[in-house]
Chain A
């Protein structure tokens, strides 16, 4: 969707390195979601952010939503091979619960 821009498109990191994935919208977001997808499978919910400035963490993954609610980042600390997959940001654009998604970031973690 053109509504959400996600970067980078792909990322290859050495195990143990930190990394950040960004998601940007030109519109105010009413809910920002992060999902992870193993290749060829469905999407697994990671986190949801709603308030400007909100930050949530789960294990080694931290997601933040900026004050304007137009940009979010997903940060992985000390990456592991189990973190490999496609990360997608999605957002409720307040159009009757229609959810739009970024194009995804493919993450490869080299042992």
Chain B
């Protein structure tokens, strides 16, 4: 089974802090995604990457950046956390062969 690991299950940060959310996959997949999930809004795509050092903006990239130095790791960075970035963050990876999107267990981030 594909394993998508998000480093933290729960995270509490202060406004203005720089925050790193890490995602690691063990299946050599090329495409990786970061979403945030909010009540009533569903999942919204922040950024995605289709190869090492390649990244594309999703629907809501403002206030975020990403890093993909190695194929297995896709990091989401909040340069200066704000309270409106309190959310559940979900990482996903895409398997071309079976055309499936696999998700990590999520990081619930609270910015105080």
Contact = CB atoms under 8 A, between A and B. Distances in A.
A59 interface: no
A103 interface: yes
Contacts, number: 59
B108 A48 contact: no
Interface string B32-59: 0101000011111100101000001011
Interface of B is mostly: strand
A97 B99 CA distance: 10
B59 A1 contact: yes
A103 B40 contact: yes
B90 A42 contact: yes
B86 interface: no
Given A41-B105, A42-B106, A103 B94 contact: no
Contacts of A41: 105-106
Nearest to A6: B42
A103 B35 CA distance: 13
A90 B37 CA distance: 13
A91 to B, nearest CB: 10
Contact of A97 (B43, B94, B108): B94
B33 A99 contact: yes
Nearest to B96: A97
Contact of A42 (B56, B59, B99, B103): B103
A98 B45 contact: yes
Contacts of B43: 1, 88, 90, 101
A90 B101 contact: yes
A101 to B, nearest CB: 4
Interface of A: 1, 6, 31, 33, 35, 40-45, 48, 50, 88, 90, 92, 96-104
27 contacts: A1-B44, A1-B45, A6-B42, A31-B99, A33-B100, A33-B101, A35-B103, A40-B108, A41-B105, A42-B90, A42-B105, A42-B106, A43-B92, A45-B100, A90-B101, A97-B48, A97-B94, A98-B45, A98-B58, A99-B33, A99-B92, A99-B101, A100-B45, A101-B35, A101-B42, A102-B42, A103-B40
